[in-house]
Amino acid sequence: MDAATVLANYWRKYQRKIMKDKSRLIAVVKARQIGLTELSSSMAIQVALSGDRSDVWLLGVNHEGSKEILYRAKHWYKIFKLVIPNLPSIKSESTESMSFSNGSRITALPCSESSVRGKSGTVIMDEAAHYQKDHDIWRGIAAAISSNKHLRLLMFSTPFGERGIFWKAVTGKLDGENLKWSVHSIDIHQAIAEGHSKDSLDLRSSYTQDQWEQEFLCSFLSQVDKYFPADLITDCYEAILDQGEKRVVAKKILGIDLASKRDQSVTIECDFDGESNYRFHSPTILSDRNKQVTYAAQFPIINTMIEKGLYDRVIVDATGPGAGLASFLKEKHGSLIIEHNATHQWKAKFIPALKVDMESDCIEIENNKDLVKAFNSVKETRSVSNNVIYVLSRDEIDHADLFSASLMAYSVVKSFPNEKQGPSTIITISNKETRSKRNDRY
C-alpha cells in the first residue's frame, strides 16, 4: 500500500489531481494558503520512499524556505510510518537533508543557480515566481531537464506579474521539443468549491484589488510593480463642491519631507473628516534640484505655514541632515511636531492601507501634476529574503518626496485614537467652484 492510497481521503480534489499527475514538468498556479506547500512536502516524501536512490531537491524563495518544506516533509514521514508497514528507515537527518535506507535523499537547497546545477531526480520549487535571479536558476537546470528523462521539475507558486520562468512555464514560453508543461491553476473559489475553508474570503478587505487578484485569483498582472496605477489615482481626484457646501475637517495634518542631499523639501496637507475619508491637497515644493533653498531659508517659510495652518499635528522627516531642521521645529512648536524616521516595516504597514482606502473610495487626491506623479512613482518589489519592499522612483526634481510627505501625514491620522471628535475646521466653498461627479464624498 502506498502513501497516496492511504491518504486518498485526506487530500482535497485539486490536491489529488496534482498528486496523480505523473508529468515530468508540472507548473501549479495557486491561491495562497490552500495547502499546496503541504502537498509538495508530502510529495517529496512519497517520491523518496517510492524507489531506490530517488533524490528530491527542495527550493524555496530562500534557504530558510527550503528548510521549512523539509521540516514539513519530516512530519509527513512520521504519519506514513504509522500507517504503512516496512517503510525505508531514516539513516541520517539534519535541518538541510534527510537520507533513507533505500538510498534516497531529500535535500533543502539554497535558491541559486549553483545549487541546482547537475542535479537529477525530482526538483520541487515552492513559490517559484518570487525567486531572485530565477532565470539563472533555470539555466542551471534546463540542460539536465532536456538530457535526463528521469529528472522531474515541479513548480508551485502564486503569480508575481508577467515575468520570470514560472510565468513562462505557465504560458508555454518555456516549452520546447522535450519540454511540455502540465499546468494546473487553482484559485480560491475553486479551492473552496473542492473542500477548502470559506474563511479565506474574510481576508478580502485586507488586500488591495491587485493583491487579491494575484494572490487569490491566480492573475498575472502586467504592471505589478506600478503600485498605484493611473486609473486608480484619477478615480481619487478631489471632489469640487457646490457653492456654499461645507467640507468637514476633523483632523488636519501637515506632512514635511526633507531630502538628505540636496536640501529638497516638500509639504502636503492631509484632511480627515472624522469618519473614513481623507484628502491630500495643497502640495508645496519648497526646494528641488532646479531651485535649491537651504534649510536655514526654509525654516521661516515652514514656521509661517505651521502658525497659520491650524494643524492638529505636523510630521517631519527627521533622517539625515533633515534631523536638524526637524529638531528646530520641535523646539519651537513642541508636541505639535512629530519627528519621523521611515522604516521598511512602516512603509509595509501604511502603503497597503492607503491603497485599500483608495480602492474603497475613501481618498481624495488633488489633481496636481506633481502630486499625481508622486503617487504613480511607487513600485513594489521583493528583497532577497522575499520581503515586500516599496520603492519610490524619483525623477529629475524628486517628485516622489510628495508621496513620502503624504504617507507620513496619512499615517498620523491613521494612528490617532479611534474616537469621535467634533470638527476642528469647516471650510465653505466659494461660488467660483462647481460640483464634480464625486460630490458625495463628504
Nearest to 271, CA basis, from 366, 399, 348: 366
- In this prediction, residue 417 carries a pLDDT of 56
Nearest to 279, CA basis, from 306, 249, 259, 256: 249
Return all residues near 264 (Cβ < 8 A) that are at least 6 apart: 257, 258, 287, 288, 289, 398, 401
408 CB burial (10 A radius; 0-12, 13-18, 19+): buried
- In this prediction, residue 94 carries a pLDDT of 95
Averages of pLDDT over each 10 residues, the chain, 442 residues: 60 93 94 93 92 89 90 93 88 95 94 85 91 85 78 91 88 77 96 93 82 89 73 84 80 85 77 92 79 77 88 88 80 91 88 94 89 84 74 60 93 70 36 34 32
Distance of alpha carbon 330 from alpha carbon 339, whole angstroms:
8
- In this prediction, residue 427 carries a pLDDT of 36
- In this prediction, residue 277 carries a pLDDT of 93
- In this prediction, residue 425 carries a pLDDT of 39
Nearest to 40, CA basis, from 6, 9, 65: 65
| Residue 389: count of CB within 10 angstroms of its CB | 12
Distance of alpha carbon 409 from alpha carbon 282, whole angstroms:
13
For residue 264, give Cα distances in angstroms to 227, 273, 282, 348, 409.
24, 30, 17, 24, 18
Q: Where are the alpha helices (DSSP H) in 162-256?
A: 164-170, 188-193, 209-217, 230-235
- In this prediction, residue 438 carries a pLDDT of 35
DSSP 396-424: TT-THHHHHHHHHHHHHHHHS-S-----S
- φ/ψ region of 313 (left if φ > 0, alpha if ψ in -120 to 50, else beta) reads beta
Whole-model pTM: value is 0.66
Domains of the chain: 3-217 (3.40.50.300), 230-428 (3.30.420.240)
- In this prediction, residue 293 carries a pLDDT of 72
C-alpha cell belonging to residue 355: 491603497
Distance of alpha carbon 220 from alpha carbon 391, whole angstroms:
20
Nearest to 231, CA basis, from 366, 358, 390, 354: 358
Distance of alpha carbon 193 from alpha carbon 425, whole angstroms:
51
